Structure 1
Amino acid sequence: MKRIGIDVGGTNTDAVLIDGDTVLAAVKFPTTTDVMQGVVNAIGKVMDGQAADAAPVDAVMIGTTHFTNAVVERARLERIAAIRIAMPAGASLPPMIDWPEDLRSEVNALSFMVEGGHEYDGRPLVPLDRAAVRDAAMKIRDAGITSIGITALFSPLTTECEDEAAEIVRSVIPDARITLSHTLGRIGLLERENVTLLNAALQGLGGRTVAAFGKALKEAGISAPFYLTQNDGTVVLAEVAAANPVYSFASGPTNSMRGAAFLTGLKEAMVIDVGGTTSDVGCLVGGFPREANNVVEVGGVRTLFRMPDLLPMALGGGTIIDPQTGRIGPRSVGYRITEKALVFGGDTLTTSDIAVAAGLIDIGDRDRVKHLDKAFVSEMLKRIGAMVEDGVDRMKTSAEGVKVVAVGGGAALIPETLKGVSEVVTVGHAGVANALGAAMAQVSGEVDQVFSGLSREEAVAQAETMARQRAIDAGAQAGSITLLDTEDIPIAYLPGNARRVRVKVVGDIAFAGR
């Protein structure tokens, strides 16, 4: 299958063209201000050498930082409405109580708290106040808001209140974009509500981004279906991703991790993705990124949903070094490295300049860093090594040495030997591992919810059936779906043999006509 993988980062845009497991072309160039034109340029460059009668591209996979950047920058977010179904128990902390003030002001939410929801054992807390939901919907409609997040108390146990509230809202606002919390988050009310409201604020941007990518592909002469990469190292059909943009928050690092697995064949390893601005340290488990089981902050907002377990470090190819003090970072020249770094004729000392002076990489004009003192260069490399060792140590789960795969445009900054590491693995095409990971990604389906009134075997089987269907809905080929991970935890304080079951499946993309 011929595929194009593209990863749009804050510093560089990478693209690869692959056929099966063979890399036909790979390019890396600075991200342009006009991101979509950069995508068109990337496709044009990887397709340049293709014969006129070559087989067409079957699919395009795109990783983008659009959505997480929108949250971090407090830009391009829609005004939203929040409906919390948890009264009278959930009145003490209103929606978005823990959001940063500037982000809360940006979304300018209308909030409503109504009676309803369930107890921890699945019993109704109080009956759903349907009249209050309808009244809220009319006020939301009158305010001109179409992006709505609905969260009910313990909805992962039973979705009844959220589903019914959504029906009421749609009867008043037919064109509403509604995010239901049980489809995204886990049991914790505030964290689940937070990710629901972030998703609601981003759905408009999700639709516009997918439409813009579609237009860019058409302009590049590509008619194949396209997918967006997700936080778990898989892909999903673009129109599905547009409805759940939060699932693409950490797609860049996870693309790199999947690319590292593809390039090395390793299923269990630590991966360091060194970009232009930051480095991300993560772990491969079964060939996929290890998931975080705790709260993850996004733009200052606490969330608890499907996110990779990553440790970001302020170390990248464009990281600024103070020549007087030797301080490394945290600021970076970012995508302006080709005009700011010393080796490119600029006036800013970066880690790339140190790497060139040490003979680790050959970019720009080496004569421009000949004046750097060798002792200073050596000291900077030691400090960079210490930063990496600290990051690896913080992510390890045992004292044993681990294999570390270095990928990304700044992979040359990773020392050949590290304390606590059995081997530092370097591979060809490491600089475009993120685009390769996007191109090689599979489609996933996941279920993480509480089942009761069923035996363990019945609960796991039901969860697997649901996960398989979600994978098919996301674009997976039914016959290729395999079980990746199963976890079930009995919940002693709930009746009916209740247990939390998490099932994840993956499958190959169902290419049209194949």
Structure 2
Amino acid sequence: MKRIGIDVGGTNTDAVLVDGERILAAIKVPTTQDVLSGVKAALSHVINAPAAAGIAVDAVMIGTTHFTNAVVERARLERVAAIRVALPTGRSLPPMCDWPRDLYNAVDPMIVMVHGGHEYDGSPLVPMNPDEIRDAAMRIRDAGITSIAISATFSPLTTECEVRAAEIVRSVIPDAKITLSHTLGRIGLLERENVAILNAALQSLGKTTVQAFADALSEIGVTAPFYLTQNDGTVALADVAAANPVHSFASGPTNSMRGAAFLTGLENAMVVDVGGTTSDIGCLIGGFPREANNIVHIGGVRTLFRMPDLLPIALGGGTIINPENGAIGPRSVGYRILTEAKVFGGSTLTTSDIAVAAGIVEMGDRDRVKGLDAGLVRATLARISEMVADNFDRMKTSAEDVPLIAVGGGAFLIPDKVPGASEVVRVENAGVANALGAAMAQVSGEVDQVFSGMSRDAALAAAETGARNAAVASGAAVDSLKTLEIEDIPIAYLPGGARRVRVRVIGDIAFG
């Protein structure tokens, strides 16, 4: 199978062309301000590489920072209506009460709270009033809002209120883009509601981003179907992913972790992905990133949904060094490294300049950093080693030594010996591990739900069926599906033998 993998980072846009497990072409180009120019440049390189002659591409996988950047920058967000089905008990903490003020203002929400929802045991809190929902929908329509997030208490236990509310809203606003919180988040109303509202605010951007990528592929002459990479190390058809842009928030470092597993053959190891601006440290389990099972902050917003367990640190190839006191970061020159770093003729001292001066890596013009103070170089490298060691130790879950795979364009910053690491693994093509991870990605489906009133076997079977169906809907071939994870947690305080079941299924992409 011939695939193109593309990963758009804050500093570089990487692309690879693979045939099965053979890498036919790879390129790293600076990320452009408009993003798409860099994507087209990277695509052109791999498509026109000599090894690509006569090859028909079967699929294109793209990892993008578009959606994360929109939240961080408070830009390109759509106005949202947030409907919470939770009165009377859900009144005390209104939707978005914990959002940073600038992000709240950027979304400019219309907030509506109505009666309904369920108790923790699945029984109705109070009856939901359809007329309240219909009245809310008419007010939302009159305000010109079409992006809507609907949340209800304990909707992962029973989806009844959210599904019925969506039907009523759609009868009033036929073109509404509706996000239901139970499809994204887990138990915990505020966190689940938060991610639903973020998703709703990004859906228009998701649609325009996918269309822009489609146009870029068409201009280059690529007609293969394309996919967006997801937080869990898999991909989804672009149109499916556009409806759930929050699932692509952490796809960049996740792609790198999957690429690290592919390049090394290691399925259980630690990975540090060093980009131009930050480094992300994570853990591979079975070849996939370990998932976070606690609160994850996105742009200052508390969420709890499908995200990799990553520790970002302000260390990258473009990280700025203060020449007076040797302080490292947190600012970076990012994609401007080719014009602002000293080795490339600029005036800003970066970690890359330190590495070149120390003879660790060759890039740019070494003569431009020959005059750096040797003490500053040694002290900076020592501080970098300390940063890596401290944060590596924070992410380990065992006292035993484990392999540490160094990938990313700035992997040269990782020292050869790290306390607690059995070895630091370096491999060829580590600089484009993110694009490789995207190219080799499979399709997944997941169910994370509370079941009650049924046996354990019936709950597991229902969850696995739901996960398989979700994988197929995202583009997986039925005959390739396999269950990757099953998590079964009995909930003693709920009646009816309640249990939280999480099942993840993966499969190969279905073509034709």
TM-score by length of 2: 0.99
Amino acid at match of 1:111: I
Which position in structure 2 is the counterpart of 1:414? 414
Structure 1, unmatched stretches of 5+, are: none
Residues 481, 507 of structure 2: 8 Å contact kept: yes
Partner of 2:61: 61
Cα deviations by residue, 1:29-85 (Å, 9 ceiling, x for unpaired):
110122112211111101112478623100000000000000000000000000000
Aligned AA (2:411): A
Identity %: 73
Partner of 2:173: 173
> Per-residue deviation at 1:95?
0.5
How far apart, in 1, do the equivalents of 2:89 and 2:221 lie?
56
Deviations 1:9-43 (A, max 9, x none): 11100000000000000000110122112211111
Deviation by residue 1:328-352 (Cα, 9 ceiling, x = unmatched): 1111111100111110011111000
Give the aligned partner of residue 265 of structure 1.
265
Q: 1 CA distance for matches of 2:66 and 2:49?
A: 30
> Could you tell me which amino acid in structure 2 is paired with residue 90 of structure 1?
G
Secondary structure at 1:144's aligned position in 2?
coil
Number of aligned pairs?
Answer: 512
Aligned residue for 1:495?
495
Show the 5 A alignment for 1:65-144.
Answer: 65-144=65-144
SS at match of 1:125: coil
* Amino acid aligned to 2:196: T
- After TM superposition, give the deviation of residue 373 of structure 1 in Å: 2.3
Local SS of the residue matching 1:54: coil
Measured against aligned partners, the alpha-carbon deviations of 1:315-369 in whole angstroms (never above 9, x if no partner) come to 0000000111010111111110011111001111100001111111110000111
Aligned to 2:207: 207
One-letter amino acid of the counterpart of residue 229, structure 1: T
2:36 is aligned to 36
2:274 corresponding residue in structure 1:
274
Counterpart amino acid of 1:49?
A: A
Aligned to 2:377: 377
Q: How many Å apart are 1:310 and its aligned residue?
A: 0.5
CA displacement, residues 148-175 of structure 1 (integer Å, 9 cap, x when unaligned): 0000010000000000000000000000
Residue deviations 1:292-325, cap 9 Å, x none?
Answer: 0000000000000000100000000000001110
Which residue does the alignment assign to 1:469?
A: 469
Separation in structure 2 between the aligned mates of residue 426 and residue 83 of structure 1, nearest angstrom = 50
Structure 1 segments of 4+ aligned residues over 3 angstroms from their partners: 50-53
8 Å contact 2:4–2:60 — kept in the other structure? yes
8 A contact 2:46–2:52 mirrored in 1: no
- 2-side partners of 1:42 and 1:429: how far apart? 16
Alpha-carbon distance in structure 2 between the residues aligned to 1:319 and 1:38: 21
Counterpart of 2:479 in structure 1 is 479
* Partner-residue secondary structure (3-state), 1:90: helix
Inter-partner Cα distance in structure 2 for 1:272 and 1:371: 31
Letter in 2 for 1:231: N
Unaligned runs of 5+ in 2: none
Give the letter aligned to residue 263 of structure 1. L
Q: Which amino acid aligns with 1:439?
A: A
Residues 198-228 of structure 1 deviation map (CA, whole Å, 9 limit, x = unaligned): 0000000000000110010000100000000
Question: Where does residue 434 of structure 2 map in the other structure?
Answer: 434
1:367 has 2:367 as partner: yes
Aligned residue number for residue 159 of structure 2: 159
Query: Can you list the C-alpha shifts for 1:115-141, whole angstroms capped at 9, x where unaligned?
Result: 000000000000001111000000000
1:282-431 alignment, distance < 5 Å? 282-431=282-431
Aligned position for 2:454: 454
Question: Quick check: 2:25–2:51 contact (8 Å CA) kept in 1?
Answer: no
- Quote the Cα distance in structure 2 between the aligned partners of 1:394 and 1:81: 39
Query: Which residue of the partner structure matches residue 23 of structure 2?
Result: 23
Alpha-carbon distance between aligned partners in 2 of 1:344 and 1:288, rounded to the nearest angstrom: 37
Task: Tell me how large the CA RMSD over aligned residues is.
Answer: 0.8
Cα distance change of structure 1 residues 385 and 53 upon mapping to structure 2, 3 Å threshold: closer
Partner SS for 2:198: helix
Q: Could you say what secondary structure the match of 1:417 adopts?
A: coil
Q: Secondary structure at the match of 1:284?
A: strand
Cα distance in 2 between the residues matched to 1:36 and 1:252: 16
- What is the letter of the counterpart of residue 41 of structure 1? A
SS class of match (1:367): helix
